[in-house]
Amino acid sequence: MTEPDNLPARSRLVREHLTAAGIRNEIRILPDSARTAALAAAAIGCEVGAIGNSLVLLADGAPILVMTSGAHRVDPDVFAAGIGADAVVMAPADVVRTATGQAIGGVAPVGHPAPLRTYLDEQLRDHDPVWTAAGTPHAVMPLTFSQLQSLTGGETIRVA
Q: Where are the domains of the chain?
A: 9-157
CB 130 within 8 A of CB 124: yes
Per residue in 94-113, pLDDT tens? 999 999 999 999 999 999 99
- pLDDT at residue 52 in the model: 96
| Confidence tier at 1 by pLDDT (50, 70, 90) | very low
| 9-157 topology per CATH | YbaK protein (3.90.960)
Q: 42: Cβ–Cβ under 8 A, 6 or more apart, which residues?
A: none
